Amino acid sequence: MKKRTVSNPERFNPKRRICTTVDPDDLKKIAGSIRYGGNPEHKRDQGDFNLVPPSQPRPDSTLCDVVKIFSRHEAERLLRAGVERGLISVQKRNGYPQNIWSVTGDGYPLEAQLENAIKGIYHGYPMPENDAFRDKVLDLWNKHE
């Protein structure tokens, strides 16, 4: 059995890159086909996500509860908003970006990771304040307003 190690919250993927050139037709296609699956490790309150197990927040994970995301509808709206603004990663799997970034109405940056490259299903979480990449996400988000 593989032992699970707790990740260092100060250590973020240095390979994350946001696409600089995006085809608007590709963005529409992606936005229309992606879904939000959720992850019990990023939820204290299950909301309407119907996760199994319902919630098991990790001590080192950022929680969606902090930014008041309790519905699948809201999570998918934010996921699509990130795609529509072109905040998708360079890295793709099966045509889906590995990561999508978005920002809540209250100004909290979010990061979503592809969890099922066949169905285009993601899970997401608020970006920690000590993640320098969040400033890039906020800057690009605000340029598209």
pLDDT tens figures, 27-83: 999 999 999 886 656 555 565 555 554 455 555 666 566 777 778 899 999 999 999
Regarding predicted confidence, which is higher, 140 or 37?
140
pLDDT tens, position by position, 85-105:
999 999 999 999 999 999 999
Residue 5, pLDDT > 50, answer no
Residue 66 is predicted with a pLDDT of: 73
Crossing angle of helices 24-33/72-84, nearest 10°?
A: 170
Longest dimension (CA), the chain: 48
Please check whether residue 107 is in contact with residue 127, taking contact to mean a CB–CB distance below 8 angstroms.
no
Q: Are 108 and 101 in contact (CB under 8 A)?
A: no
pLDDT on residue 123: 87
pTM greater than 0.85 (yes/no)? no
Distance separating the N- and C-terminal Cα atoms of the chain: 48
The pLDDT of residue 113 is above 80: yes
